[in-house]
Amino acid sequence: MAEEEVSKYVTLISNDGFEFVVLREAVLISPMIKSMVDAKSEDHFPGQVMEKVVEYFHYWYKNREKEDVPDMDIPAELCLELLVAADFLGLDKQT
C-alpha cells in the first residue's frame, strides 16, 4: 500500500502488481484500509478482485447521498472472492 502524504488519492497495489489510484475519501470507508494507509503493507487480492473492490469504493462515493441507489453487479465467478475480500476489509457495516 503506497501512500502520498497530502494527496487526495491513495494508490492500492494488488498482489499481482496492478496499481489502482483511488480517491482517499472513498477508500476510508474500509476500516481495514484506514488502518493500513499509514503503515506500508501488501495487499492480498489479485487484480481482478481489487478492481471490483475499487469499483465499489467509487460506487459508494458516487451514491452515498442518493435516495435511489442503482444496483452494482458482481459476476458470479467473483462472488466468493469478493465475499472474503469484503470480510477482510470490514466492508460489512452500515455507512
Partner 1 sequence: MADEPTLPPLPSVSWDSGSQNFTRKRVRGASNAPPIFSNSSDPAIFSSDDDPNVENYAQGGRQRKKRYVGSWFQQHPASGDSAFGDEVRPKPKTKRTFQRQFDSGVWMGSDISTDMEEIGMEIGLTANPKMPQLNVSRPVPMPSPAEREAHRRIIEAIELGRENLDLTALGLERLSDAVLSSLSELSCIPLVTDGVPFEHKDPALKIFLSGNPLIRAPAALFKLEFLSVLSLRNTQLAELPPAIGKLRNLKTLNMSLTRLRYLPAELLDLMTHEGKLRELIVHPNPFHQPDQRHDYGTRFPVLSEEPEDVLLLHETDGKKAYEGRTIRVWLDKDTSLPEGKKSRHRTSLPLDVWQILLAARSPVQFTDSRGVQLSQFTLPELPTEDGVSPLVVETEELTSPPALPRSARENNATATSFSRVPSLMEIALRSCSRTVHREQLPEYLEGCDPHHLADTLRDLNAQADANGNAGTVPCSTCRKPVVKPLAHWIEWWDLGMVSLINGVSICPIDISELDKKSVPFMKRACSWGCLPRSTPYGTSFPGTVKFSFAPEPEVEES
Cβ distance to partner 1 smaller for residue 28 or 74: 74
Decide: is 86 part of the binding site for partner 1 (CB under 8 A).
yes
Asked whether position 66 contacts partner 1 by CB under 8 A, the answer is: yes
- Helix (H) or strand (E) holding 21, with range, is strand 19-23
Q: State yes or no: residue 82 binds partner 1 (CB under 8 A).
A: yes
Cell 465467478 belongs to which residue?
Answer: 77
Distance (Å, rounded) from C-alpha 9 to C-alpha 14?
Answer: 16
Smallest distance, partner 1 to C-beta of residue 38, A: 20
| DSSP letters for 56-75 | HHHHHHHHTT-SSPPPPP--
Give the three cell numbers for residue 2.
Answer: 503506497
C-beta closer to partner 1: residue 4 or 79 = 79
- Please give the residue ranges that form the binding site for partner 1 (CB under 8 A): 53, 56, 59-60, 63-69, 72-76, 78-80, 82-89, 91-95
